[in-house]
A and B are shown apart, each in its own frame.
Chain A
C-alpha cells in the first residue's frame, strides 16, 4: 500500500465545499444506515459511519469551527438514537472534528494511505475520549477492550479509504 503523508503549506491546500444537500444528506444517511443495517447484520455495528463522515467533512473543509460543529451535531444525534447520555458521542466527535480539520490544514489527507492512518488514529482517539468521558463524567464501568477497539479501528480505517473516495465525488471545487 502506498502510504504518503506529506507536509504542505497552507496555500497549497485546497479547501472544498459541499452543497447543502450533501452537507445534510450524507450525515443523515450515515446515521440512518448505522441505525438500520445492524438490524439485518449485527456485525456491522463495528463500523462507525457517522464518525467517518464527520472526519471526512472536517478534513475536506479544513476549517476547525465547522468541523467541530459538524462532529458535535452528528455525535449528539447518535447519542439521542443510542439512548445514552447526550454528550458522550457529542464531545468525542467535537474533538475529532476539530483535530481532523486542524490536521487537514497541515497534512495532505487526500492520499489513501494517509486517510487510512488518519482514520485509524482518530478512531482510537475517539474511543479514548468516549471512554474517559463515560468513566469520568457519567461514572460508567465499561471495560477497556483494546484488542476489540484496535480491530474496529482497522475495519473503520479500511472502510474510510473506500468511503472517502466515494464522497470525494460530492466535492465542489472552489
Chain B
C-alpha cells in the first residue's frame, strides 16, 4: 500500500487537487443556480484577498502613468494651446447661445410633462472613478475602478457605469477600495435598449468576442445601419436615453430565424477607458410646470452671456409675462412689445401665437391666441424676447390661426424655432439636461414600442434632439392651414397634449385637431 502511494504520488496529488477545485467549482455553480448571495463565502474571500493584494499595485501604476501624462500635457506639451483656447472660447460662446434656446425648450418640456403627469427619472448623483485594471483575459470583460465601499461613495452592485460617450457597464462587485465593473460587451451583460429613430425596443447583449448585439427584434422590423441605440430604462439598471452604440449591421439571425441580429458598435471606447462615472443615485420626481429658476427673459440671458448683445429695454424687463411679481394683462403687453420689437420683426411677423403657459394662465384671463399649426409653442420668456401677439390684436396685422392647446406666442421670424408642435414636443426632451451629469432627463421607463407614434417619439435621448430639430426645421417650410375660428384653451389638458406631439421621424406639421388635413 505504501509502495502504491509512493509510486503514484504525483498522479494522486493531481487528482486530489483537481477534485478539490471541481468540488469548489460545483459549489459555486450550485449556489449561483439557487440564486443565493455569494457574499461571505469562500470564493468571495478569495476575490477580496486577491483584489486587495493586486489592485494597490495597479493603482500605483495607474497613478504613476497619470502623473507623467499630466506633467507632459500640462507643463511641457503646450504647443498650440493659445489657438485651442481661442477656438474653445468661440465654441463656448456658441454653446452659451445654444444653451439659452435649450433652456427654453427644457422649460417647455417640463410643462408638457407636468401636464402628462410624467415622472422624470434622471441621474441624481454620480461618482467619478478612475479605471485601474482589467480582468486580463479575453473571456471576461471586466475592469476595476479605484472606488470601493470604504471610499464613502455609496457604491453597490448593479449600479450603472457610464462615460460621457455612453454606457460602460454595471458594477459587479464592490471591494473595500476598488470595485469590479462588468462591461456592457461581456457575454454576461445585457441591457434594455431602444433604437433612436425607429423606436424599436430590444435587448443588447455582449458576446464572447466582445461584440454588442441586439436581439429580440422581429425580422419584419426595419432598422438602419448607423442608427443610434440608447438605453430604454426598462431593465431597471440603466437610466433611459444613455447612448449605447451605433448599428453597424442588421440581418436575419441565423440562430433564430424570426428575429434580427443587429450588431452595434459601442458608443464608449470600451478598450481604452480611463475615467468613468458611476451613477449612485437616480432621482425620480414629477416635473413642475414652474420648474426652473425664476422667470428670466431670454434677452436678459443673452445680454449676460454676450455683453455685446443689445440690452433690452429696462422697462420691458419688469414686464415678463408670467412673472408673479408683475403680472401684465395680455392686452397691454402687446402695445409695449410692439413698441419694443424691432422693425424687421414687425414686418415679418407671422401668425404664430400661443396662450400663456399654464402657470400664468391662472392669473391672466384666458387668451384666444391664433397660432399656426406646425409651429412650436414657446414658453413665456421667449415670448417676451420676441414679438408677442395677442389674440384679436394680432389679427389686425397677421393672419390669425388658432391651435388648441397652444400656449405661448412666437413670431414667425424665428424660423429656426418655428417647428411643429409634435416636433417640438419630441425634440425638447431630448435636449433637456440633467443638472449634475449633463445627461438627458429621462422619462418613464415603461414606454413601449406599441405606443402611439407621437407618444413614442417623446422619449428623450441625447442625440435625438439634434435630429429632431433638423426634421422640425425642415417642416417649417411647409405651411399648414389654420383652423379658423378655433379657440385655444388656456391650459392644455393631458388629453390634448399628446395630440400636439408628433413622431420625430415624421417631421410634418401636425394637422389641426378640427380634422382638417394639411395640404400636400
Chain A residues in the interface with B (C-beta under 8 A): 28, 31-32, 34-36, 38-40, 42, 45-46, 48, 64-65, 68-69, 72, 76-78, 80-91, 94-95, 98, 102, 130, 133, 137-139, 142-143, 145
A95 CB, nearest partner CB in chain B, Å: 7
Assess whether B25 is in contact with A137, with CB atoms less than 8 Å apart: yes
Assess whether A48 is in contact with B21, with CB atoms less than 8 Å apart: no
A48 to B137, CA, bound (A): 8
Is B323 interfacial (CB 8 A cutoff)? Answer: no
Chain B residues in the interface with A (C-beta under 8 A): 9-10, 13-14, 17-18, 21-22, 24-26, 28-29, 32, 43, 46-47, 49-51, 53-54, 57-58, 61-62, 65, 131-140, 142-144, 172-173, 180, 182, 187, 208-209, 271-273
Assess whether A86 is in contact with B135, with CB atoms less than 8 Å apart: no
Assess whether A34 is in contact with B25, with CB atoms less than 8 Å apart: no
A32-B54, A65-B10 are contacts. A137–B136 as well, Cβ < 8 Å? no
Q: B18, B25, B61, B144: which contacts A95 (Cβ < 8 A)?
A: B18
Minimal Cβ-Cβ distance residue in A for B143: A39
Assess whether A80 is in contact with B47, with CB atoms less than 8 Å apart: yes
Q: B14, B51, B137, B173: which contacts A94 (Cβ < 8 A)?
A: B14
A38 CB, nearest partner CB in chain B, Å: 5
A42 to B135, CA, bound (A): 11
Q: Which A residues are CB-close (under 8 A) to B132?
A: 36, 39
A39 CB, nearest partner CB in chain B, Å: 5
Q: Which A residues are CB-close (under 8 A) to B17?
A: 68-69, 72, 94
Interface majority SS (helix, strand, loop, mixed), chain A: helix
A88 to B114, CA, bound (A): 53
Q: B14, B26, B136, B187: which contacts A81 (Cβ < 8 A)?
A: B136
A35-B58, A82-B137 are contacts. A87–B22 as well, Cβ < 8 Å? yes
B40 CB, nearest partner CB in chain A, Å: 15
Q: Which 5 A-B pairs have the closest CB atoms?
A: A87-B25, A80-B50, A42-B271, A34-B136, A82-B135
A46 to B251, CA, bound (A): 30
Minimal Cβ-Cβ distance residue in A for B61: A36
Assess whether B14 is in contact with A98, with CB atoms less than 8 Å apart: yes
A32-B58, A77-B50 are contacts. A45–B136 as well, Cβ < 8 Å? yes
Minimal Cβ-Cβ distance residue in B for A152: B138
A156 CB, nearest partner CB in chain B, Å: 12
Assess whether B43 is in contact with A86, with CB atoms less than 8 Å apart: yes
